[in-house]
Amino acid sequence: MSTERLTSFKSFEESTKEDWDKIAPQLAHTQSLVADKVIEQLRYLEQDHGGFPVDRLEHSLQTATRAERDGRDDEYIVCALLHDIGDNFAPYNHPDIAAAMLKTHVSEANHWMVQHHGIFQGEYFWHHLGMDRDTHLKFVESPYYDYTREFCAKYDQTAFDSDYKSNPLEHYEPLLKEFFAPK
């Protein structure tokens, strides 16, 4: 990178408009790299079964494929594909990571669904771990409660089937590139 394109401030407080005039155009370039980074992170999910019948990438692909085959729109499909992308970084709060990645790109309903899916997924197995499987009920007044519950019931909790033929990640790469392209 040419040094004439770099700024020289040592803190934001001492930055100038001229500095930000140099930085702002670079944001589009940084954003143009996001889809490839997302795809790379999804590939890391393939390395972890976590004891499940399928690896975490296959789980994500099954979730997205089921949503796609059910006629869901592209935004929903991307949410289904990325809902567990944070598993590599923080399994216990992975929904927050996925939700943060998607927040500026999706509707409030889809953001809420991704952010809360872990609690709703607990309905199916938390009782086996000595946890309260009904924790999701504390959100029953949310306008997105039924929407999130449906996501888990139809797509997420069913996506551990080693016999299911999901679409490959390559099928979703053009969608991800379009979805995360600079606007």
**125-136 pLDDT per residue, tens:** 999 999 999 999
Mean pLDDT of the chain: 94
- Nearest by Cα to 137 from 154, 155, 120: 120
| pLDDT per position as a tens digit, 110-166 | 999 999 999 999 999 999 999 999 999 999 999 999 999 999 999 999 999 999 999
User: 1 versus 55: which is more confidently predicted?
Assistant: 55
pLDDT of res. 3: 52
- The whole-angstrom separation of Cα 172 and Cα 27 is 24
Domains of the chain: 32-179 (1.10.3210.10)
Reported confidence tier of residue 60, pLDDT bands at 50, 70, 90:
very high
Reported confidence tier of residue 1, pLDDT bands at 50, 70, 90:
very low
The encoded tokens of residue 1 equal: 């990178």
DSSP classification of residue 130: T
User: 48 versus 173: which is more confidently predicted?
Assistant: 173
pLDDT of res. 88: 87
- The whole-angstrom separation of Cα 123 and Cα 85 is 21
- The whole-angstrom separation of Cα 146 and Cα 155 is 14
- The whole-angstrom separation of Cα 84 and Cα 173 is 17
- The H-assigned helical ranges of 84-143 are 94-102, 108-121
